[in-house]
Amino acid sequence: MSEYIEKTMEWIKRTNPGQGVFVQAATEVLNSLEPLIKRESKYQKHAILERIVIPERTVIFRVTYTGDDGRPQVNNGYRVQFNSAVGPYKGGLRLHPSVDLGVLKFLGFEQIFKNSLTGVNIGGAKGGSTFDPKGKSEGEIMRFCQAFMSELYR
């Protein structure tokens, strides 16, 4: 493994504790880039690896909405915007109790490459919440989504 990739991976592991799924994705991508990195010194010179593995912006916020029982419900909300070098961010939302920052960083990181394969000039991002729509009424899901977007637009 190239020294540049090795140092970058050590740095990613150190600066992303508890985000195993993201670290694994970054490791796989960086290892696949090794032949290119060895051939072209410009990637190290311009810190390209470091720049693609850190999101440009990460927003973490509280989403409060009213449940069907009339009581306030609170969930975490996230938006991870990875790369807008070729255009505006694009990436969906994941609503699931297992959502956390590491999962969304993993999905947003992969979205960069997925979007680049479409040929459309769009960057990568992903958002989500710990909200579980399973078993919720349409009204409760709607109130959650409205609250999520009201917080996200800020």
> How far is the C-alpha of 91 from the C-alpha of 40, rounded, in Å?
30
CATH number reported for the structural domain that contains residue 88 in this entry: 3.40.50.10860
> Which residue range is the domain that position 108 belongs to?
57-153
Domain boundary among 32, 53, 74: 53
Residues 133-150: tens digit of each pLDDT? 999 999 999 999 999 999
Q: Provide the whole-model pTM.
A: 0.87
Identify whether residues 39 and 65 lie together within a single domain: no
Identify whether residues 85 and 33 lie together within a single domain: no
Domain count of the chain?
A: 2
Domain boundary among 37, 53, 69: 53
**Residues that are catalytic:** 126
Identify whether residues 79 and 48 lie together within a single domain: no
Residues 23-54: tens digit of each pLDDT? 999 999 999 999 999 998 898 999 989 988 99
> How far is the C-alpha of 95 from the C-alpha of 50, rounded, in Å?
29
Identify whether residues 31 and 49 lie together within a single domain: yes
Identify whether residues 30 and 82 lie together within a single domain: no
Identify whether residues 75 and 142 lie together within a single domain: yes
81: its two tokens: 């915007």
Q: Tell me, what's the pLDDT at 87?
A: 86
Identify whether residues 61 and 12 lie together within a single domain: no
| 39: helix, strand or coil | helix
58: its two tokens: 């990460």
